[in-house]
Structure 1
Amino acid sequence: MKLDSSIAAVVTGGASGLGAATARALAAKGVRVALFDLNAELGERVAAEIGGLFCAVNVTDDASVDAGFAKARAAHGQERVLVNCAGTGNAIKTVGRDKATGELRHFPLAEFEKIIQINLIGTFRCTAKSAVGMASLDPVDDGGERGAIVNTASVAAEDGQMGQAAYAASKGGVVSLTLPLARDLMAEGIRVNTILPGIFSTPLLLAAPDNVKAALAASVPFPKRLGDPAEYAALALLMIENGYFNGEDVRLDGAIRMAPR
């Protein structure tokens, strides 16, 4: 798909990190970009920077997502590109012991469900609702392409660490969605791919102490540094622009394989 001013895109989690980098990269191609996020301050700032549109959206809520797509389409037209970057995580062991009392406790199920709702179901919700709109469009080329979707998993989908049961399960679900989604949508001319980022320099990691960041960077085989969100964005754009890229899950991680902890 040729990315230019004729294309509209939606980026979830677009106010910061990987999503903001992707929104900037799309806008640099002339694409009309709408950002879905809960952080209005950052979202409005990025939207103003790239000439885009901010939509306050909670990906766990049907009505909120519907309202976001309605606002984006009213301003930019039906999107042909969706990049799902909205997500979160936690670090809770399946069974833990209270340091003060020694009491054994299991992973709070409400916290497990929260991660699944945001990372996995939120991704599917936005994908399904966007794909309905994409399928209504005329193809952009003789091959019948109507749209392209990029989802965000994590290397934790394949080598989750201690305390990442919920996060790894949610991201593993996103990976497992990729091929069935590509197959479901092939008749509509919509491609689906997934990126599995490693340790990236996102706002969460930037807030960590310098020694922690240095240790994380040193754990990457090569290059020995944190990933740059612009590198994620470059791969996302490649997946969108290369019409033969479909049904793939790609690690972007400097060859890291996460240790147990």
Structure 2
Amino acid sequence: MQISGISAVVTGGASGLGGATARALAEAGAKVAVFDLNKDAAEAMAKEIGGVACVVDVTKDDQLEAAFEKAAAAQGIARILVNCAGIGISIRTVGRNGPHPIDSFRKVIEVNLIGGFNAIRRASQAMSTLDPLDDGERGVCINTASVAAYDGQIGQAAYSASKGGIVGMTLPIARDLASLGIRVCTIAPGLFDTPLMQALPDDVKAALGSSVPFPRRLGLPSEYAALAKHIVENNMLNGETIRLDGAIRMAPK
């Protein structure tokens, strides 16, 4: 799919992987709607890239529906969806304070897995009403998983379950939407220099980066964005999860 002139939605688009992707799509000529829980950050990003800001909690279906309607009214129905909204926690199944709080587990699943699926179902419904482009394509949805889907570390039961669910639903959703001309892929990043990482001391970041076989550093959000852009442009990429991790395989801790 050619990016220039079409509309896109990026959830979690105000910073980190989502922010880099919003910038990359805008630079390629897309009209980008920035979906984010942080109002100020979403508006700042939208102003920077000439897009539209939509303040939304992806776990709230009414907010998500309203955000898609706002984006479509401003820029047209999106042919690109990139799901970057997500959260993570580190809690052992059984720890000093007892068993893993079930509400915390549920929250991670709701944001990362259910929120991502909800965005896909709403975006793809709208995409299905559009005229097909070359190859009969109407749109593409890109999810963000994690290497934790495969190599979950101590304390990552909730996070790994949510990301494993994203990997697991990629192929069946791609098959569901194939007849509509909508592709679905997932990116599973390794250790990336996101705002969460930036809060760590420099020596800790350096140690984490040196654990990557090659290149021996943290991944850059722009590298995630470059892969997302390529997935949009390469029509044969469908139903696949791509690890973007410098060949890292995570140790237990």
TM interval, shorter chain, is over 0.9
Moved over 4 A (4+): none
1:108 aligned residue (101, 106, 114): 101
Q: Could you give the per-residue CA deviations for residues 94-141 of structure 1, whole angstroms, max 9, x where no partner exists?
A: 00014xxxxxx0000000000000000000000000000000100012
Deviation at 1:42, TM superposition (A): 1.2
2:203 aligned residue (211, 215, 220): 211
2:137 aligned residue (117, 134, 145): 145
Question: Hey, what's the Cα distance between the residues in 2 that align with 1:210 and 1:76?
Answer: 41
Aligned residue in 1 for 2:56: 57
Aligned residue in 2 for 1:233: 225
Aligned residue in 2 for 1:124: 117
RMSD: 0.6
2:155 aligned residue (163, 174, 188): 163
Structure 2, unaligned runs of 5 or more: none
Deviation at 1:60, TM superposition (A): 0.1
Deviation at 1:54, TM superposition (A): 0.6
Mapped pair 1:154 → 2:146: yes
Structure 1, unaligned runs of 5 or more: 99-104
Q: Could you give the per-residue CA deviations for residues 153-178 of structure 1, whole angstroms, max 9, x where no partner exists?
A: 00000000000000000000000010
1:199 aligned residue (191, 197, 201): 191
Question: Hey, what's the Cα distance between the residues in 2 that align with 1:30 and 1:193?
Answer: 21
Deviation at 1:214, TM superposition (A): 0.9
- How many aligned residue pairs are there? 253
Question: Hey, what's the Cα distance between the residues in 2 that align with 1:179 and 1:243?
Answer: 15
TM-score (norm 1): 0.96
Question: Hey, what's the Cα distance between the residues in 1 that align with 2:192 and 2:45?
Answer: 19
Question: Secondary structure at the residue paired with 1:157?
Answer: helix
Mapped pair 1:96 → 2:76: no
Q: Could you give the per-residue CA deviations for residues 25-45 of structure 1, whole angstroms, max 9, x where no partner exists?
A: 000011000010011111111
Aligned residue in 1 for 2:34: 35
For the pair shown, which has the larger CA radius of gyration, 1 or 2? 1
Question: Secondary structure at the residue paired with 1:82?
Answer: strand
Deviation at 1:210, TM superposition (A): 1.1
Question: Secondary structure at the residue paired with 2:196?
Answer: helix
Question: Hey, what's the Cα distance between the residues in 1 that align with 2:224 and 2:111?
Answer: 20
Question: Hey, what's the Cα distance between the residues in 1 that align with 2:44 and 2:78?
Answer: 21
Deviation at 1:211, TM superposition (A): 1.4
Question: Hey, what's the Cα distance between the residues in 2 that align with 1:147 and 1:186?
Answer: 10
Q: Could you give the per-residue CA deviations for residues 164-203 of structure 1, whole angstroms, max 9, x where no partner exists?
A: 0000000000000100000000000000000000000000
Question: Hey, what's the Cα distance between the residues in 2 that align with 1:13 and 1:206?
Answer: 17
Question: Hey, what's the Cα distance between the residues in 2 that align with 1:93 and 1:183?
Answer: 35
Identity %: 61
Question: Hey, what's the Cα distance between the residues in 1 that align with 2:251 and 2:113?
Answer: 24
Aligned residue in 2 for 1:220: 212
Question: Hey, what's the Cα distance between the residues in 2 that align with 1:144 and 1:217?
Answer: 42
Mapped pair 1:254 → 2:230: no
* One-letter identity of the residue aligned with 1:127: I
Question: Secondary structure at the residue paired with 1:34?
Answer: strand
Aligned residue in 2 for 1:16: 15
* One-letter identity of the residue aligned with 2:217: R
